[in-house]
Structure 1
Amino acid sequence: MRRRRFLATTAVAGGLLAGCTGSDGGTNESTAGAGDGTGTAASDGTTGAGAATESGSTAAEGTGSEATDETGTASGGSYSVTMPPVGTVSFDSVPETWVANNGSWADMGVALGKQPPKAVWLTERYHTQYYDEIPGVSVDKSGMQSLYSDGVSKELFYELDGDVHVIDPNFLLNRYKGWNQTDIKEIETEIAPFFGNSIFSRGYDWHEDYPYLSLYEAFEKLSQVFQETERYEAFAGLHDDFQSNVSEVVPSGEKPAVAIMWAGSDQPDTFSPYLISPGTSFKQWRDLEVRDAFADTSVRDFHADRSEVDFETLLEVDPDVLLLRGHEDKTRKQFQNTVVSYLESNDTASALTAVENGDVYRGGPLYQGPITNLVLTERAARQVYGASDQLFDRQRVADIVTGSS
């Protein structure tokens, strides 16, 4: 029998893991056109309410007080960390192996100097090429497994045998109908606890009963699990400095109107639209204060009703900038030679202001953590504002990750 690395889990409030067969849970995600639980396309846009707090501090957001609960240290070296919706999880030692829901949490682990997780939801959506920007930091995904493969296997969790599952259990219960609360309890009892919160999107009805966390709130909690709070504090300070640099790039006048969409192919004729929301998926665009081209239109967010837009709709909205997701595996040149080239040659698409002006860019991934957010925000500042200076110190990041700072 493996040595247990946690002692107990106490739910934040009764019922938080109840009601887990909502509208999202009734559909097998393998058939959804751009669902975030599949291996084909993605949904991360939302129409959620409330502004996120993304500073290095841990100001609460959402609707509950659990977002700012602190760790507690018990006798014998055990300690506990509270995370909505799972409650307070007590550990008897620091987890050595782990499983993550997505690249947001995996990136946090890298920032904390940990080994990569044994698995994420989809390995192809954990974009490790961003680490090329950071000297001496890299991640080998060759041994990493995908949790999702036409479903989510409970047996895989036994094979992985992680010390902690950094996954919001409600995500499993609602985004894939094959799981129920008995399965969650079994994994917690027989293997290891769940410890996660779905932070990248604000569009889930089942998330309304417990608070979302900002990127740095979630990051702090994971640092408490891994007992790496000094690294977290170092990143929080770096992030504060970074935010100051970003604010200097943002112009004082009217900001560009951007349309963020999922483009499912190199020759897209329809797109899945996203409205900029407080989820961590849109952090760089909020920080750069761009305007949402879809905000005051009849266009609905993809997550709300699986909506699509075509070139005719885009001509009516005519955004200043097109930000197309689904192409992070391409270099800028590859994206230009495929997707942009197609839009420029299309009779209708070529009439769009963004296409005419050469303002069609990769729109960033679904998931980002503290390191990847730095890289993506700087890239976004170049795209929409023509920023030329580096906005963060690469070596400072590397020193925190390696423990040299």
Structure 2
Amino acid sequence: MADKEQSATRRTYLKSGLAVAAGGLIAGCTGNSGEGTTTKSGSNATATSTSESTTEATTESSDGDSYTVSMAPMGDVEFDGVPETVFTRLTHHAGMAFALGHGDAVNSMHAPDYYDALWNQFVVRLDGVSLDWSGLYSSWEPTKEKLYELDSDVHLADPANVAALGSWSSADLEEIEQNVSPWFGNTFSDRNRSPPSEWADAYQFYGLWEIFEKVAQVFKAEAKYEALASIHDDLLQTISSNLPAEEDRPTAVMLASRDFETIYAYDANQPGYLTAHMRPLGVESAFGDDFESGSTVDFETLLEADPDVIFSLGGMHPTTDMVATRAMFTDDPVGSEISAVKNGRIHAQGARYQGPILNLFQLEMTAKQLYPEQFGAWPTYEKGPYPEIPEDEQLFDRQRVADIINGTN
């Protein structure tokens, strides 16, 4: 590996300012954010709400020439061509490559077999679209040696998030950037949480679709982004124009647990792209404003909060038994008293680290789970793929989405 480390880089690109960012010397980024997201400089966050995002300029010449894409925390990153192999860690980035027709380019991700099975529960409803992430390198905590071996054209991952693992130094990140390919990703926008201190001044929070827009520029796939964003905008308009009055909306909580010995509760209104399928629905948090999302709870705590709706994260995975999940509540003397349980409103969900395609399905799914009178009933899900929804009750056009992904629209 030493010879390769010392050799000239095989790809031509402009250094993204990674070393400067890691040293905390870049001024805080500013810009517009959509979906009620937050722009942050250091540890002070200022909420903004806009209907459209402003994207920093991407310089691009004729095909084959280099082009620059800018996103925090990397800054300007120059590419000499559309990436053909893509390293990812988290599935929101992998899902973006997939949405742009580059799902097969992904060579790594966290828990690939798990997410391959979960994503395909939704992808099956897109005619002619396929996805296969099984058997990829599981990259939760990657090594330099493996990144050299993968030799990816882009590391679609947040360098600040990799630095937070503790096993990577700034020098390590720079080495991979210089000798293999650039980093390009944003992860701490998941919950608008603070990055490592050395990255704070370089960081900016984005909405899910804002990150997607910038990833689309990396792949020179702006037209696909615009087409999918139009579907997303129409879906959000359909939802917002049909929401019931605030006083008629239920309270809700998202839960995650493998065995119900330990239950994690998540705020459905939390800022960040993890709730990009929840916030547009205007649901009220069952735990109130002071609840720390991700806290552990028991049935007594849940009964005290008494949510009208419970969302079971990962409930649509093929290995999850939703019948058993519901039975854990109904068979418990405390759990059975929770309003969501008594009214049969424990619903399966997919994943919080969602890409744009999963976001479309989960917006539709959640709208039906919360407001069946407004958006059509959601079937009681026990197992299997995303239910077949009658065409006149679908909230977005599956065939149009499939054609965009496949490049046939």
Q: What TM-score, normalized by structure 1, do the two folds share?
A: 0.81
The one of 17, 31, 35 aligned to 1:11: 17
The question of 1:342 aligning with 2:328 is answered yes
Match status 1:164 vs 2:154: yes
- Paired with 1:364 and 1:293, the residues of 2 have a C-alpha distance of 20
**Contact 2:253/2:309, CA 8 A, preserved across alignment:** yes
- SS of the residue aligned with 1:10? coil
The farther-off stretch of 84-93 and 321-330 is 321-330
Q: 1:249 touches 1:385 (CA, 8 Å); kept in 2?
A: no
Q: CA deviation at 1:301?
A: 2.3
Amino acid at match of 2:59: G
Matched with 1:224 is 217
Q: Secondary structure at the match of 1:162?
A: coil
Alpha-carbon displacement from aligned partner over 1:168-206 (angstroms, at most 9, x marks no partner): 0111111x2111111101111111110111132222343
Q: Residues 54 and 381 (structure 1 numbering): CA distance in 2 closer, same or farther, change over 3 Å?
A: farther
**How has the CA–CA distance of structure 1 residues 135 and 191 changed in structure 2, closer, same or farther, with 3 Å as cutoff?**
same
Q: Is residue 322–residue 348 contact of structure 2 (8 Å, CA) maintained in 1?
A: no
Query: In structure 2, what is the Cα distance between the partners aligned to 1:285 and 1:5?
Result: 40
Question: Are the equivalent residues in 2 in contact too, given 1:5–1:94 (CA < 8 A)?
Answer: no
Q: Contact between 1:78 and 1:90, CA under 8 Å: does it hold in 2?
A: yes
Report what 1:325 is aligned to.
Answer: 313
Q: Which residue of 2 aligns with 1:192?
A: 181
Instruction: Single out whichever of 268-277 and 199-208 deviates more from structure 2.
Output: 199-208
- Alpha-carbon deviations, 1:51-77, whole Å to 9, x = none? 57685x424xxxxxxxx3121125871
Report the CA distance shift for 1:186/1:208 in structure 2 as closer, same or farther (over 3 A): closer
- The AA in structure 2 aligned to 1:399 is D
Find the counterpart in structure 2 of residue 373 from structure 1. 359
Mapping of residues 63-78 of structure 1, within 5 Å: 68-73=55-60, 77-78=65-66
Counterparts of 2:186 and 2:311, CA distance in 1: 27
120-129 vs 386-395, greater mean Cα deviation: 120-129
Aligned to 2:107: 118
Quick one: distance in 1 between partners of 2:276 and 2:50? 8
Hey, what's the Cα distance between the residues in 2 that align with 1:54 and 1:393? 25
Could you tell me which amino acid in structure 2 is paired with residue 71 of structure 1?
T
Matches of 1:369 and 1:107, distance apart in 2: 4
- In structure 2, the CA distance between the partners of 1:296 and 1:58, relative to structure 1 (3 Å rule), is closer
Q: Which amino acid aligns with 1:225?
A: V
Letter in 2 for 1:328: M
Return the offset for 1:144.
Answer: 2.0
Counterpart CA distance in 2 for 1:105 and 1:230 is 18
The match for 1:65 is none
Hey, what's the Cα distance between the residues in 2 that align with 1:156 and 1:343? 44
**How many angstroms does 1:248 deviate by?**
3.6
- Partners of 1:131 and 1:192 lie apart in 2 by 30
Q: Which consecutive residues of structure 2, in runs of 5 or more, have no partner in the other structure?
A: 25-42, 377-392
2-side partners of 1:73 and 1:269: how far apart?
53
Q: Compute the displacement of 1:328 (Å).
A: 3.5
Q: Deviations over 1:120-175 (max 9, x none)?
A: 12312453221112111120123422112xx432211112110000110111111x
Pick the aligned partner of 1:58 from 53, 56, 60: 53
Identity %: 37
Alignment of 1:223-372 (within 5 A): 223-254=216-247, 255-265=249-259, 268-275=260-267, 276-297=269-290, 299-302=291-294, 307-330=295-318, 335-372=321-358
Asked whether the 8 Å contact 2:95–2:103 carries over to 1, the reply is: no
How big is the shift at 1:5? 3.5
* Greater RCO (CA < 8 Å, at least 6 residues apart): 1
Partners of 1:147 and 1:355 in 2: CA distance: 37
1:27 maps to which residue?
none
Aligned with 1:178: secondary structure? coil
Question: Residues 363, 140 of structure 1: CA spacing in aligned structure 2 closer, same or farther, 3 A cutoff?
Answer: closer
Distance 1:131 1:48, change over 3 A: farther
**1:53–1:138 Cα change, 3 Å:** farther
RMSD after superposition: 2.5
Cα deviation, residue 15, structure 1: 5.1
Return closer, same or farther for 1:49/1:309 CA change in 2, 3 Å cut-off: farther
> Could you tell me how far apart the structure 1 residues matched to 2:333 and 2:171 are?
54
Aligned to 2:30: none
Calculate the TM-score normalised by the size of structure 2. 0.80
Distance (whole Å) between structure 2 residues aligned to residue 100 and residue 233 of structure 1: 23
The Cα of 1:376 is off from its aligned counterpart by 0.8
Are the aligned partners of 1:249 and 1:381 in contact in 2 as well (CA < 8 Å)? no
- State the Cα distance separating 1:95 from its structure 2 match: 1.4
AA matched with 2:21: L
- Matching residue's letter, 1:159: E
- 2:87 counterpart SS class: strand
| Contact preservation (8 Å) 1:54, 1:214 | no
Is the 1:51–1:278 contact (alpha carbons within 8 Å) kept by the matching residues of 2? Answer: no
CA distance in 2, matches of 1:316, 1:364: 26
> Secondary structure, in 3 states, of the residue corresponding to 2:190?
coil
